[in-house]
């Protein structure tokens, strides 16, 4: 672009500050300074406002709103650097301004999201460049813009900050607004890099169509998903978000012949924060499609800081979401309803929240993040009465499930605790859920480390009498939720990453859901089976019947990273049997499923990948019948096991590449292994 023919106006309030004189004067393109009260946007191709001093919102700024929006709709560009980004609400660009303003005391620079590393805005930079030292900033941290797309986080000399998001773009009509709320200052340090960033910004705004729009709708999400199709760590038949962050499954519902899975979603990047509700649906549990984001935080609502976990119910023909709204240090339940048969649009209840305060008894846990830990909702109806469970912890250091009842969904009466845990069962219980079976009930909770279940009975007085306890899954599995599907429960859980924040950021996505599981209680014991619908994904079956001798290793003539294995393992006189999927051609890299008779484990110390967890995940197996029947779902970075339908074990692994072999061996003696292997197709 010939910047000499591109008219750039650089406005200021009251008078030019020394910092503005320096930054505008040192810019790698010509600018014309002009006071805001004399600004005519139509006289310029681009406006660039830089502000380092604390910003005072004035009537002059508000008065520019109409002319500025006309300028943008007609194809103009606006660049906001430093604290000028704080004016987006006043200028009518976004209802949510940055929530963090200050001065960084170290070298910083833009850290592009994975999909934007090759964007022209960051052309000519290293992966983690520094463009300023001690730069004033305005950025999004606890909240996100209502309409803007985040392009980059903050690279720091002292360590990257993935939740500090100062680079935002808004597309308005034919034009665009680009906010770079940090990385630009009058200091001399990194001035060449600063000017490169400014040059790139002007080049992008000269052609606004080069700047992305926020992806919250179905078609845009499908395009976003396609950008990660070549990532061999990306699961193909486990549910994932199109990009960015996924955690708890929420709002599971079958409606108008389709299964709907909502989930905790952060469009700001592959890190936890400012939670929305993502959405996917399927007619058959086999083929899925991305739906528009269902819930976004309301700028002035009780969920401004996040739409946290909850559930979905059918309220006499009205699909209703019950979710936790977060604002500042308060968490309270909120409602949203839909009259859309496809559940793509939702309307929040105008009187949210539907419970104003947590109960006083028992005294509940308070932390630095929340006045009271009071979140996550499970509802069911008996006759005319709704039952409502909420997760919390007591100030005595035990988890607790709280119980409310009501005849409608916006008026609740507190009934007391359903169950109070023991100290060793976790100090905070999230995501409670109660499932009723023929002769037993099952209550499960998530305590930050594990998903603990209790088998017993939910009594008429609202208390749960426990008989036994255990873990739903002994590995990387958390916050499950279920839906009633005819005469069965289908359950999904969150499979969190087992690699570091840097690796997640560089990948551009984080988290997936388990395969759908059928849960039941039979003879007082929990049973878990993969949903039989998954069999529709199977390709050709390869069957092997092996007598495995010690000291030998058999490579099966099957390759793939998206496999299902069904094995029967008889140890005979062997100490252990190992099945190793995701093995490299030389066998050095591998993920080992090891069965010893006493335990079943996923050994990942040779699974590969930088920044990943190498500790094994282990489940006890001494009480499982012999021979062991094993279903294994291997999918990119997921190994999900079902042992004798009684024990589940899930591990996340990250082979470096080319690791698609399948090996079988025994140690200490001979064993017999019968195994069937299928390649599984994509669910998308």
Minimum mean pLDDT range among 202-216, 263-277, 452-466, 558-572:
202-216
Closest CA to 299 of 307, 309, 291, 311: 307
284 neighbors 240 (Cβ within 8 angstroms): no
**What is the pLDDT at residue 657?**
76
pTM: predicted TM-score of the whole model, two decimal places: 0.95
pLDDT (tens digit per residue) in 24-76: 999 999 999 999 999 999 999 999 999 999 988 778 888 889 999 999 999 99
**What is the pLDDT at residue 237?**
98
pLDDT (tens digit per residue) in 616-649: 999 999 999 889 999 999 999 999 999 999 999 9
**What is the pLDDT at residue 59?**
82
255-264 mean pLDDT: 98
- Predicted confidence (pLDDT) at residue 431 exceeds the cutoff of 90: yes
Helix (H, G, I), strand (E, B) or coil at 246: strand
The separation between the first and the last C-alpha atoms of the chain, rounded to the nearest angstrom, is: 40
373-401 mean pLDDT: 97
**What is the pLDDT at residue 3?**
58
8-22 mean pLDDT: 94
Instruction: Give me the active site residues, please.
Output: 248
CA dist., res. 517 & res. 493, Å (int): 9
**What is the pLDDT at residue 218?**
75
347-362 mean pLDDT: 97
What sign does the CA torsion over 282, 286, 287, 290 have? positive
Minimum mean pLDDT range among 216-225, 455-464, 588-597, 601-610:
216-225
154 neighbors 164 (Cβ within 8 angstroms): yes
283-306 mean pLDDT: 96
Q: Within a 13 Å sphere around the CA of 511, how many CA atoms are in the beta-carbon half? A: 26
The full set of domains in the chain, from first to last, is 3-210 (3.40.50.880), 218-530 (2.115.10.20), 535-680 (2.60.120.560)
**Tokens, residue 432:** 């409670």
**Tokens, residue 393:** 């912890």
110-127 mean pLDDT: 92
When the pLDDT of each residue in the chain is averaged and rounded to a whole number, the result is: 95
382-410 mean pLDDT: 97
C-beta atoms surrounding 328 within 10 Å: 10
CA dist., res. 319 & res. 321, Å (int): 7
119 neighbors 221 (Cβ within 8 angstroms): no
- Predicted confidence (pLDDT) at residue 2 exceeds the cutoff of 60: no
Q: How many helices and strands (H and E) does the chain possess?
A: 6, 45
323 neighbors 333 (Cβ within 8 angstroms): yes
Instruction: Work out the pLDDT band at 391, boundaries 50, 70, 90.
Output: very high
């Amino acid at each position: 672009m010939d910047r000499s023919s591109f008219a750039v106006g650089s406005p200021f309030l009251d008078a030019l500050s020394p910092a503005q004189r320096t930054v505008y004067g040192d810019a790698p393109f010509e600018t014309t300074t002009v006071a805001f009260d004399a600004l005519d946007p139509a006289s310029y191709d681009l406006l660039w406002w830089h502000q380092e001093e604390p910003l005072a919102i004035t009537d002059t700024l508000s008065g520019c709103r109409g002319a500025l929006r006309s300028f943008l709709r007609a194809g103009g560009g606006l660049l906001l650097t430093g604290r000028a980004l704080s004016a987006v609400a006043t200028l009518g660009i976004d209802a949510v301004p940055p929530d963090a303003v200050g001065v960084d005391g170290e070298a910083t620079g833009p850290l592009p999201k994975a999909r934007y590393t090759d964007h022209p805005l960051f052309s000519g930079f290293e992966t983690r460049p520094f463009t300023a030292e001690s730069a004033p900033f305005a950025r999004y941290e606890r909240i996100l813009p209502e309409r803007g797309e985040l392009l980059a986080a903050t690279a720091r000399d002292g360590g990257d900050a993935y939740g500090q998001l100062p680079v935002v773009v808004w597309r308005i009509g034919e034009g665009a607004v680009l906010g770079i709320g940090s990385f630009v200052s009058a200091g001399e340090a990194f001035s060449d890099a600063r000017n490169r960033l400014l040059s790139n910004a002007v080049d992008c705004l000269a052609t606004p169509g080069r700047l992305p729009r926020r992806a919250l709708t179905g078609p845009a999400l499908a395009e976003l998903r396609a950008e990660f199709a070549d990532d061999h760590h990306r699961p193909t038949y486990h549910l994932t978000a199109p990009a960015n962050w996924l955690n708890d499954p929420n709002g599971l519902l079958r409606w108008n012949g389709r299964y709907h899975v909502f989930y905790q979603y952060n469009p700001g990047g592959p890190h936890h924060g400012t939670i929305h509700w993502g959405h996917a649906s399927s007619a058959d549990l086999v083929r899925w499609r991305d739906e528009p984001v269902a819930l976004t935080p309301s700028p002035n609502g009780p969920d401004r800081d996040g739409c946290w976990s909850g559930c979905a119910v059918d309220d006499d023909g009205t699909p209703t979401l019950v979710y936790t709204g977060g604002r500042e240090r308060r968490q309270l339940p909120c409602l949203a309803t839909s009259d859309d048969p496809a559940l793509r649009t939702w309307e929040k209840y105008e009187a949210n929240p539907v419970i104003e305060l947590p109960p006083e008894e028992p005294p509940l846990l308070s932390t630095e993040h929340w006045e009271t830990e009071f979140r996550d909702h499970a509802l069911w109806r008996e006759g005319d009465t709704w039952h409502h469970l909420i997760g919390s912890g007591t100030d005595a250091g035990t988890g607790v499930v709280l119980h409310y009842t009501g005849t409608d969904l916006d008026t609740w009466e507190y009934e007391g605790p359903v169950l109070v845990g023991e100290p060793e069962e976790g100090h905070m219980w999230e995501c409670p859920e109660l499932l009723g079976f023929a002769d037993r009930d099952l209550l499960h909770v998530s305590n930050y480390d594990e998903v603990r279940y209790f088998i017993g009975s939910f009594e008429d007085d609202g208390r749960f009498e426990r008989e036994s306890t255990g873990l739903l899954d002994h590995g990387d599995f958390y916050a499950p939720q279920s839906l009633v599907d005819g005469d069965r429960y289908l359950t999904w859980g969150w499979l969190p990453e087992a690699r570091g924040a840097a690796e997640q950021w560089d990948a551009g996505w984080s988290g997936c859901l388990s395969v759908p599981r059928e849960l039941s209680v039979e003879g007082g014991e929990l049973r878990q089976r993969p949903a039989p619908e998954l069999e529709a994904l199977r390709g050709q079956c390869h069957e092997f019947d092996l007598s495995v001798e010690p000291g030998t290793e058999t490579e099966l003539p099957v390759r793939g990273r998206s496999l299902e294995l069904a094995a029967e393992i008889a140890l005979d006189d062997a100490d252990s049997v190992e099945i190793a999927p995701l093995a490299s051609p030389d066998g050095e890299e591998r993920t080992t499923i090891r069965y010893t008779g006493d335990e079943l484990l996923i050994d990942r110390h040779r699974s590969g990948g930088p920044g990943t967890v190498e500790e094994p995940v282990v489940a006890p197996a001494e009480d499982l019948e012999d021979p062991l029947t094993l279903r294994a779902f291997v999918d990119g970075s997921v190994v999900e096991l079902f042992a004798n339908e009684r024990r589940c074990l899930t591990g996340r692994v990250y082979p470096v590449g080319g690791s698609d072999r399948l090996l079988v061996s025994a140690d200490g003696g001979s064993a017999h292994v019968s195994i069937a292997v299928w390649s599984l197709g994509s669910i998308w």
